[in-house]
Structure 1
Amino acid sequence: MLITKLKASLLHLLISAIVVSCFAGFALLIWYPSPFLQISGILSILLILVSVDLILGPLLTFIIYRPKKPKLAMDLAFIGIVQIAALGYGMYTIHQGHPAYIAYTVDRFTLINIADVNPLDAKHTDLQASGWWKPITVYSQPPTDPSEKERLIFEVLEGKPDIDARPEYYEPFDKFANKVMQKGLTAQQLSSTPESNQKLEVFIAKHGKTTNDYAYLPLVGKEKDVLWVWDKATEQPVGTLDIDPWRLSNVATNG
């Protein structure tokens, strides 16, 4: 009997693992490419989803499974329905929490969740995020018209989204990349504390070049903020530094 229970439970585990792995792989590669998973605040939900589907379902199968049990098929179907419902809810939550845009505004990049914007508001069709694919890096261009500026300020004061979550102000990032590469924290600021200096040295040893060859730009997430490091020559991101950019800025200023 025990062997039979184990076989049924392991089969359930195998099926669950295949389904969860396919979804988790898609979510990590498409919705949350590095470094967005680490700072999005969604990792705990993903872990709960994996735990429920890989542990609870097979465990219940192990408990109830008996080959000659009456209505066994109905009991297994009920477990499957509960498991599918939990998976569906988890998938929906993870989808709603994933960044549709990485918007650069003033001095920082910010993760903008698909649930917080209407991509169809973007005036450039190629910036109308599908919501099912990778996040798009954009540049938030403030309005130049004084009346529109005033209107935007009043709307924000009334509780409406700020410019970083307003697709109507989005512009292709590559048009402004060179300008953005001149901003961010300096290598001198990064060397202002022993901890940040050590992390910078490790990064340079791994990626090469010199500290001045990179732009160190704040990346604002839901869980925490880090520094997103871009290669100035290629205007492409190369990694992150697990450093609070605002604390480091204050230390450098006070120093």
Structure 2
Amino acid sequence: MSRWKAAAIHLSISAVIASITAALVFLVWFPPPYGHAAGADQLILVLLGVDIVLGPLLTLIVYRHGKWGMRFDLVVIGLLQAGAFLYGMSIVVACRPVFVVGAIDRFVLVPANAIDAKDLAEGSQPQFRSLPWTGPRLANALRPEKAEDRNELLFNGLAGKDIERFPKFYATYADHHDALLAHARPLDQLDAKPGARAQVDRWLAARTRERDSVVWLPLTGRAKDMVMLLDRGDGRLLGALPIDPWL
């Protein structure tokens, strides 16, 4: 077997693993429209770049048919590739979004590594006491009624730990979206943002929606901030557009 054939076989195996990984990341852990906001596209490019390039390239460099110790060399290459892949996957798992939280006047994409185990155990409902593996759960964060909770939230907020990182303040979105919807803005307020009018018009035309039936709120993520679109009447999440809400 030539080194080119050996490298091609290694590349084929790596490509299969990469395809499965990409499907898991983009369809399950970082489902649309949250992948871009959470930085999944950047993470997966690095991860798959290592997986596809590192192993086959090393195989191409070291492989020589009949070489003594060749099997050992290939095992070492496989272990190096597996180690790099598993390390990359651990970062992806830690950064995966676990909750989409309506926080006062915006939505926040909360990654797994942003919630402490102690805070998770205090979740207000069973679905908010565990980190999901099948995509982020939707919740609405309600302002606490107790003075001691408000004070705790104030001090934690000064340290950068805001309300969306406390599952004990979460509530079912469908039952508590009215206050959040009251902060939503009409689509006309997006028109002045660079490239926004064309994106919004394409989105509305594709879904045959009237402009005044949709409102928006900012969606903040680890990598990018976007615009979350909602139904003006019932507050349902309709999708997100890659428009910077702060410009």
Query: 1:66-105 alignment to 2 at 5 Å?
Result: 66-105=64-103
Q: Report the CA distance between 1:194 and its aligned residue.
A: 7.0
Query: 1:119-130 alignment to 2 at 5 Å?
Result: 119-130=120-131
| Residue 22 (structure 1) aligned to one of 9, 12, 20 | 20
Q: Report the CA distance between 1:136 and its aligned residue.
A: 0.7
Query: Which moves more between the two structures, 142-151 or 166-175?
Result: 142-151
Identity %: 29
Superposed CA offset, 1:230-250 (max 9, x none): 234564333222222122xxx
Contact kept in structure 1, 2:104 and 2:180, CA below 8 Å: no
Corresponding residue number in structure 1 for 2:149: 148
Contact kept in structure 1, 2:106 and 2:180, CA below 8 Å: no
Note closer, same or farther for the CA distance 1:147–1:60 as it changes in structure 2 (3 Å cut).
Answer: closer
Q: Determine the C-alpha separation between the residues in 2 that align with 1:59 and 1:150.
A: 56
Query: Which moves more between the two structures, 135-144 or 114-123?
Result: 114-123
Q: Report the CA distance between 1:182 and its aligned residue.
A: 4.1
Corresponding residue number in structure 1 for 2:48: 50
Note closer, same or farther for the CA distance 1:162–1:52 as it changes in structure 2 (3 Å cut).
Answer: same
Report how many residues are paired: 244
TM-score (norm. length: structure 2): 0.91
Corresponding residue number in structure 2 for 1:210: 210
Corresponding residue number in structure 1 for 2:31: 33
Query: Which moves more between the two structures, 161-170 or 112-121?
Result: 112-121
Q: Report the CA distance between 1:193 and its aligned residue.
A: 5.1
Q: Determine the C-alpha separation between the residues in 2 that align with 1:178 and 1:130.
A: 26
Contact kept in structure 1, 2:63 and 2:70, CA below 8 Å: yes
TM-score (norm. length: structure 1): 0.88
For residue 131 of structure 2, what is the amino acid of its counterpart?
A: S
Task: State the Cα RMSD in Å.
Answer: 1.9
Matched position secondary structure for 1:240: strand
Corresponding residue number in structure 2 for 1:251: none
Superposed CA offset, 1:194-219 (max 9, x none): 73222222221122121111121210
Q: Determine the C-alpha separation between the residues in 2 that align with 1:26 and 1:99.
A: 13
For residue 127 of structure 1, what is the amino acid of its counterpart?
A: F
Note closer, same or farther for the CA distance 1:193–1:16 as it changes in structure 2 (3 Å cut).
Answer: closer
Matched position secondary structure for 1:15: helix
Query: 1:106-117 alignment to 2 at 5 Å?
Result: 106-117=104-115
Corresponding residue number in structure 1 for 2:240: 240
Query: 1:221-240 alignment to 2 at 5 Å?
Result: 221-232=221-232, 235-240=235-240
Q: Report the CA distance between 1:143 and its aligned residue.
A: 0.7
Corresponding residue number in structure 2 for 1:8: 6
Matched position secondary structure for 2:183: coil
Q: Determine the C-alpha separation between the residues in 2 that align with 1:6 and 1:233.
A: 61
Q: Report the CA distance between 1:43 and its aligned residue.
A: 2.3
User: Structure 2: 5+ residue runs without aligned partners?
Assistant: none
User: Structure 1: 5+ residue runs without aligned partners?
Assistant: 248-255
Query: Which moves more between the two structures, 170-179 or 101-110?
Result: 170-179
Q: Determine the C-alpha separation between the residues in 2 that align with 1:156 and 1:55.
A: 43
Matched position secondary structure for 1:122: coil
Contact kept in structure 1, 2:228 and 2:241, CA below 8 Å: yes
Note closer, same or farther for the CA distance 1:227–1:72 as it changes in structure 2 (3 Å cut).
Answer: same
Matched position secondary structure for 1:244: coil
Q: Determine the C-alpha separation between the residues in 2 that align with 1:111 and 1:135.
A: 8
Matched position secondary structure for 1:246: coil
Note closer, same or farther for the CA distance 1:231–1:89 as it changes in structure 2 (3 Å cut).
Answer: same
Corresponding residue number in structure 1 for 2:162: 162
